[in-house]
Structure formats: C-alpha cells, structure tokens
Amino acid sequence: MKQQQLLSLLHLSSPSLPIGAFAYSQGLETAVDLGWVSNEQSLIQWIEPQLKYSLSQLEVPLMSRCYQAWQAKDYGAIQHWQAILLANRDSAELLKEELQLGSTLHRLLNSLDCNLPAEAKGLGYLPMFAYALAHFDIELESGLCSWLWSWLENQVTVACKTIPLGQTPAQQTLLALMPAIEASVQHGLGVADEQIGMTLPNLAMVSAWHETQYSRLFRS
C-alpha cells in the first residue's frame, strides 16, 4: 500500500473522524444494563459472535459489493445493496444510526471535495464508507480491516464507559479479537449473494429494548 493510501485509510478509521459514531453503542449499553456484559470475558463473548455471524455475513460482503459497484459506477447496484443493508437493521435505532452516519459522512466527504455523485445522497454509512475507499484507491481487504477495527474499537470504548472497563482490559480485549477481524474479512469475502444476511436474536432484542431504556448515554 502506498503511503498516501495508508494515510487516507488511517484518516477514515480514526475515532476523531467527525461523523458522530462515538454516540452509538449498537445495543451494548443495554446488554451491560441487563448484566449480560460485565467484564472483559463477557465483553469478548458478546463481541466475537457479532464478528463471526453478523459483520462477516452482512457488512463485509456488502462492503465488497458496494466497493466494486462504485468502481464500476453501477449506481443501480448501490441502491440494491443499500436496500439489503437497511432491511437487515433490526431496530429503529440501528436503522436511524445507519442513515444518520451515512448523511454525516456524505457531508464530510463533500466538504473535502471528494467528487461525490448525485446518487450518493441519502445512502447509509456502509455504502458511503465504500465510496471513500474506492475514491481514495484503498485496497479492499485493508479497508475492510479498517472498518471492522473502527467498529471493534468503538464497542470497547462503550464498554469502558458503561461497565466500566479499565484501560488494560480494554487493550487486552482488542488484542484478543484481532484474529476474529481477520477471520471475518476472509469469510465475508466468500459469502455468496443469496447468503448475505444475519440473525442474532440477542442483538436484535437489546437494540430494541434500548429505545425505552430508562437511563442511557448512547443513541443506540
């Protein structure tokens, strides 16, 4: 990877990227509130199945297809995969998160003169991130690792604020789950069109319950 591509990738995956991803827990806050996640071990047990059964089955294959569609300027395919993505967001909060982050990333990329086509307006976070990868000529597998790492880092940050999890266990969690990221990317790249989708009932339930949780720090 060329240095400029690497710098662009680090920029996109930085927690300081001003799109507001830090405001969302994706149901983890409720899992902590219920006592399902209370320490490093239970956090790993909560996150690892999502990497194995959710992100590798949905986000990774969809990112790959959106990336290729942007390269081919196949805007019909982008809309198709966007519809599949939104249909797999199990709660109102997760759906809103996808669209809000997509809108914020669109606004950021537009302000950075990234030559956004008119068809990019209204897209979710995932297809907009795929556009950024294609625009900056970032290799797909590296981009996927970056996407999953950002997601994982945000989940661990949420755990630090809600359990609360100490900084050393947080780093140990990140290290423990690195192999799962690599496995998720490799598996996801081999998922066929008809296999795309995910079913994680516990994640769907806590995400829905979060909408009416009495006290909360996060928006999902």
Tens-place pLDDT, residues 107-116: 999 999 999 9
CA distances from 165 to 37, 155, 159, 187, 207 (A): 10, 11, 6, 30, 21
pLDDT at 109: 97
Query: Could you give all domains of the chain from N- to C-terminal order, each with its CATH number?
Result: 3-10+26-210 (1.10.4190.10)
For the stretch 61-110, pLDDT in tens is 999 999 999 999 999 999 999 999 999 999 999 999 999 999 999 999 99
Asked whether 126 and 63 are in contact (CB, 8 A), the reply is yes
pLDDT at 62: 98
For the stretch 145-159, pLDDT in tens is 999 999 999 999 999
Confidence category of residue 16, pLDDT binned at 50, 70, 90: confident
Q: Give me the sign of the Cα torsion angle 180, 186, 190, 193.
A: positive
Q: Closest by alpha carbon to 20, among 173, 205, 220, 168?
A: 220
Q: CA 44 to CA 172: how far, in whole Å?
A: 10
Q: What is the DSSP letter of 73?
A: T
For the stretch 163-219, pLDDT in tens is 999 999 999 999 999 999 999 999 999 999 999 998 799 999 999 999 999 989 999
